[in-house]
Structure 1
Amino acid sequence: MTPVILVTFAGRQTRMEILTQYIRRALDLGIIDEWHIWDFTRSADDHAWVTREFGPARYMGSKVPYQNAGTVSPSASFRTSARIRHDLHIALVPNDRPHECYEIAGGGWKNTHSVLRKIGREQLAHFDRSNEQTLWSKPTPGILSPGRPNEVTLSIDAAGAPILRINEVAIGTWPEINLSAGATVHIRGGWGADLELCDVDARTRRYIGNPNEQLPYYQAYEYYATRFEDFKDAVFLKCDDDIVYLDIDKLDGYIQFRRANPHYFIVSANVVNNGVCAYLQQAAGSIPTSVGEFEHPPGGFGGTLWESAERAAKLHGYFLVENGRTLPLPQPSVDWTERQSINFIAWLGQDLLHMALPQGDDEHALTIGVPTFLGRPSAIYSDFTVSHLSFGPQERGWDPTPLITAYEALMRSRLFPETEKPVLRAAG
C-alpha cells in the first residue's frame, strides 16, 4: 500500500478554514488517506481551534503540556498504546471534584521510579511541581519499553479506587482516591521524552510540536525520518496553512506525477503568489504585464512579489476574476535546481532517508541543501494549481480579509455549487 499523507504546519484559523474544506473533500474522495496537522500555533485561540477542529492527538513533543485523552469510569477503563521511553504522565480530574487533580508519573527518573501526586488543576498547563503533594512512590525499574508501544490500562475498582497497569503489570492501586463518579484523563510525556499514542489512527489527527521554538518545523521531519520503515512507501504532500484554493480535480494527477518521477527530490504544485511560479507563469504568457512584471527571484528566493502586498493583491485579483483561472507554466513540468518557496510540495517516503533535518531553514534544506548533495533536481508541475494567500513581508499593514472572503466564495462554488454556504466554525 502507498498511502497519501498530507502534512500541514498549523495553524491560523482565519487562514486555514478554507483549506480545511478542500482537504476534507479530498479525504472523502479517497485522494488523500491521512491528514497530519502539526500544531505549531502561536496563540491560545488558534491552539484551541486546532484542538477542537482536528481530532485526537497522536504525538506530543516532550515540552507539550497535558492534552485531554479520554475518560475513565467504574464501567469503562481508559486504554492507550504509548510509545515513550520514560516519564509517562497521566492526570486524573474527578468528575465530582473538578478542582482536584491527581498525577501519575510512570517510569520517571529515566524509567526507574513511579509516583502519584496531588496537584493543582492549573498545573496541567505547565511543568512546575514545586507545590505538589506526593501521595505514593515506588521503584519501577524498566516499567516502560523503548522497543514497542506500551499498553496502558487505567481502571476503577468497585470501591472507586484507580488501578494502573502497564504492559499487563500492575503498577499501583490507590484506595485513598475515590473516583466512583469517573474522571477525565489527560496525558503527556516530559523531561526529554516525546509521547506517541499509537492507537490514535483517525484519518485526521494532530501532532503537537514543542511550543515557543524558533523554526520549529524540523520536529515534523525528524518524526517521519526516525520512523522510516513505517512511512517509506507513502507519498507525502506538505502545504502551508494559508492555501486558499486547491484544484481538487487535478490533485490526483499531481500525486500520480509525483509517484511516476522518483528522480525528483521534491515536486511543487503550480502556486499562485509564489515568486518562482509567478516568473514562470509570466514567461509562459499566463500573466500579462498589466498585472505586474514578475522577475526571476535572485537564487529563487525573495523578490518584489514576496515583499509586496500590492503586487500579491493584484495577482490574486487576476486569478480570481474568472472564478479561478489556470496559469500554465512553459512546460507540463519545469525542472528546477534553485531555491523555491515550499507552499505546496510532494516527496516520496523513500526519501525520508535524507530528511532528518536540523533545526533551521527547512525550505533551503529541501530545495537546495539535500537535492544538491544528492545531485537530484526538483520540479514544478504545471497542471495542479493552488493559491497561497500571503508571505510574512506581504502582511505588513495589509488586511487580507477581502481576499479571504473572495476565496471562500470560490471554494463554495467549487465544492458546494448547489447548496448554501457551509458554516466555517469560529473560535470561542
Structure 2
Amino acid sequence: MTPVILVTFAGRQKRMEILTQYVRQAIDLGIIDEWHIWDFTRSQEDHEWVTQEFGPVRFMGSAAPYQAKGSLSPRSSFRTAARIKSDLHLAIVPHGEPDKCYEIVVGGWNNSHSVLRKIGRADLKSFDRPEEAIIWRRSTPAILSPSVENQVVLTMDGRGVPTLHVNNILIGRWPELDLGAGAEVMIRGGWGADLEICDVSAPVRRYVGNPGEKMPYWQAFDYYATHMQQFADTIFLKCDDDIVYMDVDKLSDFIEFRRANPHYFVISANVVNNGVCAYFQQAAGSIPESVGHFERPPGGFGGSLWLSGETATRLHDFFLQKGDQDMPLPTKVVDWRERQSINFIAWLGKDLLKMALPKGDDEYYLTVDLPTFLNRPTAIYSDFVVSHLSFGPQENALDVERLIHGYQRLMLSKLAAEPHEDARELSTAADALRSQAVA
C-alpha cells in the first residue's frame, strides 16, 4: 500500500485550528497516514501551541532549542534512538529543584569528547556555556555514528545515581548527582549537527526547523530528499497552515490522480484565493464578474488578487455563501507550465531524487525551475477544492476574524455530516469552535 504523508509548514494557531480538524478526520478515515508538522513558527506563543498540539518531535535542526523527550526514575530508564553525527545534548531536569539542571553532551568537539555540565534552567534557552559549567569530561572518540540509529540509555539506581550508555558503551556514571526524586529529560542537537529521533513513529509528529531563517522551507525538502530511499513509494501532500476549507470527500480522488499521473511534477488542488486558479475558475463561469475581475497573473505570479485584501474578502464571501463548494475549472485537469502558488500540492516520493532544494524560493523551484529543467508540466486538478485564507500583501485589508468564523461554521457543517471514529473528540472540538464563533 502506498503511504500518504501530508506536510504542513506551521504555524499560526488562529489560522491552523480549522485545518487541524479536517486533517484529523482524513487521518481517522484512513485517507492520510501521517501528518508531518514542520515548526517554522515566528512567535513563542505559536511555538508553544504547536508543541502542545501536535505530538512528539521526530527531527530537530542543529539550531533548534531543547524539546521534552521523556523522564527518568529508579523504576524507569530513559531510552531513545538518535541519528546524529556529533553533539547530542541531553538535559536532565530534576524534580523539585526549580533552578538546577544538568547537561550531558555526547560526542561534542567533532565527536571526540563528552562532558557533563551543571547549569541553570534559564540556560536551556541558549547555546552558549561558560567553561566553568563543566563538572566532568571524558575522551569518547567516534562515539556517535551518523550511519546508524545510536542507542542511548540513561538509567538511575535506587540512590538516584545516573549512568549513561551509548551504543552499549559506558559513557559515565555520576555518583555526585542525586536524582532520587526523578527528572525530566530533554534533547537537542547542536553546532551543525541535526538530530533525528528515530523511535518516534506517531502518525502526527513534529519537525522543528532552525529558527530565524527568512525562507526556511528548504530544510523540509532537504530532509525528505536525504531520506529518499525511505520515502520513495510515498505520495506527498503539502498544504499551507491557513487552508481553511478542504473537500475531504474528494481528497482520495486527488491522491489517486496524483498516483496515476507520474508525468506531472507537482499537481495543485483547485484553490480558492489563488491567482492562477481564480483565473481559470472565472474562465469556467465559477466566479461571476460581480465578485471581481481575475486576470491571468503574469508568469503565474502576483496579480491583482494576490495584492488585494478587498478582492480576496469578496471572493471568500462568495465561496462561503454558495450553496455548494464546487468551483469547476474549464477542464478536469489544467496543464500548466508557469509559476503557481503552492498552497496545496502533491508530488511523488520518487521525485525526491530531484528535490534537494537550495536555500531560496521553494515555490519557484517546484513549479518553474525543476519542471522546465525536467520537461515535465505541472497541473491543477479541478474536482478537489480547498480554500486558502490569505497572502501577505492581502493582510492589511482582509477581514480575517470574520472570515475565520465563517470557515469555522462551514467546517462544523461539513464534518458533522461525516462519520468520525471519535465522536466525543469531534463534538468537543466543535463546541469550542462554536464558542469562538459566537464570541
State the TM-score, normalizing by the size of structure 2: 0.95
Aligned partner of residue 360 in structure 2, secondary structure: coil
- Structure 2 CA distance for aligned equivalents of residues 133 and 251 of structure 1: 54
Q: Give the structure 1 partner of residue 358 of structure 2.
A: 358
Q: Give the structure 2 partner of residue 241 of structure 1.
A: 241
The aligned runs of 1:1-400 (5 Å cut-off) are 1-130=1-130, 133-400=133-400
The CA deviation string for residues 12-56 of structure 1, in whole angstroms up to 9 with x for no partner, is 001000000000000000000000000000000000000000011
The CA deviation string for residues 309-329 of structure 1, in whole angstroms up to 9 with x for no partner, is 110011111111025421100
Would you say the 8 A contact 1:72–1:183 is kept in 2?
yes
Change (3 A) 1:353 1:422: farther
Residue type of the alignment partner of 2:432:
V
- Structure 2 CA distance for aligned equivalents of residues 174 and 367 of structure 1: 55
Change (3 A) 1:381 1:157: same
Would you say the 8 A contact 1:118–1:132 is kept in 2?
no
Would you say the 8 A contact 1:8–1:36 is kept in 2?
yes
- Structure 2 CA distance for aligned equivalents of residues 240 and 304 of structure 1: 21
Residue type of the alignment partner of 1:410:
L
Would you say the 8 A contact 2:313–2:398 is kept in 1?
no
Residue type of the alignment partner of 2:256:
Q
The CA deviation string for residues 282-314 of structure 1, in whole angstroms up to 9 with x for no partner, is 111111111111000000000000000110011
Change (3 A) 1:42 1:132: farther
Would you say the 8 A contact 2:57–2:205 is kept in 1?
yes
Q: Give the structure 2 partner of residue 423 of structure 1.
A: 432
List 4+ stretches of structure 1 deviating above 6 A.
none
- Structure 2 CA distance for aligned equivalents of residues 143 and 327 of structure 1: 57
Q: Identify the range of structure 1 (362-371 vs 390-399) with the bigger mean alpha-carbon deviation.
A: 390-399
Would you say the 8 A contact 2:160–2:180 is kept in 1?
yes
Residue type of the alignment partner of 1:141:
P
Would you say the 8 A contact 2:310–2:397 is kept in 1?
no
State the TM-score, normalizing by the size of structure 1: 0.98
Displacement, 1:398?
3.3
Aligned partner of residue 106 in structure 2, secondary structure: strand
- Structure 1 CA distance for aligned equivalents of residues 62 and 415 of structure 2: 39
Structure 1: runs of 5 or more not aligned: none
Would you say the 8 A contact 1:39–1:208 is kept in 2?
yes
Displacement, 1:177?
0.3
- Structure 2 CA distance for aligned equivalents of residues 253 and 330 of structure 1: 18
Change (3 A) 1:41 1:392: same
Residue type of the alignment partner of 2:54:
F
Would you say the 8 A contact 1:324–1:410 is kept in 2?
no
Aligned partner of residue 396 in structure 1, secondary structure: helix
- Structure 2 CA distance for aligned equivalents of residues 207 and 103 of structure 1: 22
Change (3 A) 1:73 1:268: same
Root-mean-square deviation (Å): 1.3
Change (3 A) 1:64 1:132: farther
Aligned partner of residue 286 in structure 2, secondary structure: coil
% identity of equivalent residues: 65
Displacement, 1:131?
6.6
Change (3 A) 1:3 1:132: farther
Residue type of the alignment partner of 2:322:
E
- Structure 1 CA distance for aligned equivalents of residues 324 and 413 of structure 2: 10
Aligned partner of residue 122 in structure 2, secondary structure: helix
Would you say the 8 A contact 1:119–1:131 is kept in 2?
no
Aligned partner of residue 306 in structure 1, secondary structure: helix
- Structure 1 CA distance for aligned equivalents of residues 121 and 405 of structure 2: 40
The CA deviation string for residues 112-162 of structure 1, in whole angstroms up to 9 with x for no partner, is 100000011101111010275211000000110111110101110122111
Aligned partner of residue 327 in structure 1, secondary structure: coil
Residue type of the alignment partner of 1:331:
T
The CA deviation string for residues 77-112 of structure 1, in whole angstroms up to 9 with x for no partner, is 011000000000000010021310100000001111
- Structure 2 CA distance for aligned equivalents of residues 323 and 82 of structure 1: 51
Number of paired residues? 426
Aligned partner of residue 245 in structure 1, secondary structure: strand
Would you say the 8 A contact 1:71–1:78 is kept in 2?
yes
- Structure 2 CA distance for aligned equivalents of residues 267 and 373 of structure 1: 17
- Structure 1 CA distance for aligned equivalents of residues 234 and 54 of structure 2: 21
Aligned partner of residue 75 in structure 1, secondary structure: coil
- Structure 2 CA distance for aligned equivalents of residues 277 and 213 of structure 1: 29
Aligned partner of residue 170 in structure 2, secondary structure: strand
Aligned partner of residue 130 in structure 2, secondary structure: coil
